[in-house]
Chains A and B, each alone.
Chain A
Amino acid sequence: MSITEDQARKVAHLARIAVDDAALPALARELNGILHFMEQLNEVDVTGVEPMTGVTPMRLKRREDVVTTGEMADKILSNAPDAREGLFAVPKVVE
């Protein structure tokens, strides 16, 4: 498989990273280099192998479904680039 400039543009958009058209050929080349490297994995026989999800075979911890924290809107907003009236502010979202 190899990535065309068009596909590189699409991946950049999916990743929400702006890439100039002029930078797309180099990006596609780099991504192809990495993907080519990964293709070694096709040599491995993985028939019947379950994909590994975690290191230790353990069930994720459960806890009571109750509120344990909260009432700290100021702290949560303290690092926001733009916060107003107790809310995060963003540019218009309406299409």
Chain B
Amino acid sequence: MTDLNSLTIAEARDTLRKGDATALDLTEACLTAIEGAGALNAFVHKTPDIARAMAQAADARIKAGDATSLTGIPLGIKDVFCVKGVPSQAASRILEGFRPEYESTVTQNLWNAGAVLLGKLNQDEFAMGSANESSCYGPAVNPWKVDDRQLTPGGSSGGSAAAVAADLCLAATGTDTGGSIRQPAAFTGIVGLKPTYGRVSRWGVIAYASSLDQAGPMTKTVRDAAIMLGAMASVDPQDSTSAEHPVPDYEAALTGDIRGKRIGIPREYRVDGMPAEIDALWQKGAEMLREAGAEIVEISLPHTKYALPAYYVIAPAEASSNLARYDGVRYGRRARLGQGDGIVEMYEKTRAEGFGPEVQRRVMIGTYVLSAGFYDAYYNRARKVRALIKRDFDQAFADGIDAILAPTTPSAAFGLRSVDSSDPVQMYLNDVFTVTLNLAGLPGIAVPVGLDKQGLPLGLQLFGRPFEEGDLLNHALVLERAAGFVAKPDRWW
């Protein structure tokens, strides 16, 4: 029998229903896997006692015939989600010791469905990063390895990606502000779904950039993403941007039939210096969808090139405002003060020692672009460009395109600390294919499609129409089946 921790959610659901294993068995298998995977640095706060208690409650629920698709399913939760009584610090020193007095809507929805909390997962500090290197816990490590180098699992949801790829949990939550679910999913050979802005509540998710942040599932299969999104999504009065759309049955949308659908291939995503392998994979993906009966159409999204600079104005601007709350007064860390220090010194010293370099940089850039004299030149201009980027997508969908196919990342996973840290823009370039979607608020899903010549996973992403995640997942299912990606990392940890 397969190790229980390597099951998908759908397989585990069947196993539990048939009584071939208990939720507690499943949880114990994951806890053992986590104990043996310290080298991956994926789980940063482990909650084995809570996990066992939740698994026992799930077993009682299964016995009583009151199970949902997620009852008894052990999950990892990105550190950015507030979980009552459990450290939740978004991988920042400034939230050291913070234990929320309340539960995020997403995690509450998951617990209501009967899911089991294994612990909190590593990430970039405040979800700012593309390599998981800005974490106060040190980087999570990619379970994929082809030589002596340790590779990044991507960021910011790097711990989530590493944990799912290494079978430490059945699935995990992530958040995606500029690609933070899809890029790490691509780097680790798993599925990552960023829902439409407003589909999943942001209540209790430690904020980075409020007009872009969206939580979503990171799973082993497309079907699991459908199951998990169904549990995570809700209409939430606690989040003023939560959309008033009922949550459909996403799994029921997985028919595997995309005949007659029109798939757009945006020519602007063929960027200079893109590795030939990625271009070839993209063409192969388009061919797979064509063979499944879809029509492949070249489209233009003319403002694509400006998404990255627009994002790196808007996201830091929002971050500088959101992160103003970390002042050493209400929660987390306060710096040790010198004789005669007043409140301003307290703020400045607390934030200097509590925030890492990348967070400091983004807060300062955000402060600058919002400051008098620069607001119009940078911030307002970026918001206008954002409107144009969204208009590009609106136009494509109005022309009858059902989904858009693009690469997820410009490369496979790279070595940890291999990007020059004195040139932050180099790291930002990783997000070139993913940020457009956040700016437009659309749903997107990364699907593993193949291995590169070194043997590392590469993925493609599909973009869908707003609030049509079911249709998007169905396209992704077809791609997943045609690609037949089954590779797993060899265990070295």
Give the interface of A toward B (CB within 8 A). 1, 3, 8, 11-19, 26-27, 30-31, 33-35, 37-44, 46, 49-56, 58, 60-61, 63, 72, 75-76, 78-82, 88, 90-93
5 contacts between A and B (CB under 8 A): A37-B428, A46-B381, A60-B241, A79-B99, A80-B331
With an 8 A cutoff between CB atoms, is B332 at the interface? yes
With an 8 A cutoff between CB atoms, is B364 at the interface? yes
The smallest C-beta distance from B392 to any residue of chain A, in angstroms, reads 12
- Residues of the A chain whose Cβ atoms lie less than 8 Å from the Cβ of B313: 38, 41
Complex CA gap A27/B358 in Å reads: 11
- Residues of the A chain whose Cβ atoms lie less than 8 Å from the Cβ of B355: 17
3 nearest A-B pairs in the assembled complex, by CB-CB distance: A55-B441, A51-B383, A81-B334
- Given A15-B367, A17-B360, A79-B98, verify A52-B386 contact (CB < 8 Å): yes
**Is A90 in contact with B332, judged by CB distance below 8 angstroms?**
no
**Is A61 in contact with B240, judged by CB distance below 8 angstroms?**
yes
With an 8 A cutoff between CB atoms, is B290 at the interface? no
- Given A1-B377, A56-B243, verify A37-B390 contact (CB < 8 Å): no
Most interface-central of A27, A41, A58 (chain B CB within 10 A): A41
- Residues of the A chain whose Cβ atoms lie less than 8 Å from the Cβ of B333: 81
- Residues of the B chain whose Cβ atoms lie less than 8 Å from the Cβ of A42: 381
The smallest C-beta distance from A27 to any residue of chain B, in angstroms, reads 8
- Given A3-B368, A18-B352, verify A44-B388 contact (CB < 8 Å): yes
Chain A residue nearest to B376 in the complex (CB): A51
- Residues of the A chain whose Cβ atoms lie less than 8 Å from the Cβ of B384: 44, 46, 49-52
The smallest C-beta distance from B436 to any residue of chain A, in angstroms, reads 13
- Residues of the A chain whose Cβ atoms lie less than 8 Å from the Cβ of B462: none
Complex CA gap A54/B355 in Å reads: 28
- Given A44-B303, A55-B197, verify A17-B211 contact (CB < 8 Å): no
Complex CA gap A81/B98 in Å reads: 10
Complex CA gap A38/B313 in Å reads: 7
**Is B348 in contact with A16, judged by CB distance below 8 angstroms?**
yes
**Is B348 in contact with A30, judged by CB distance below 8 angstroms?**
no
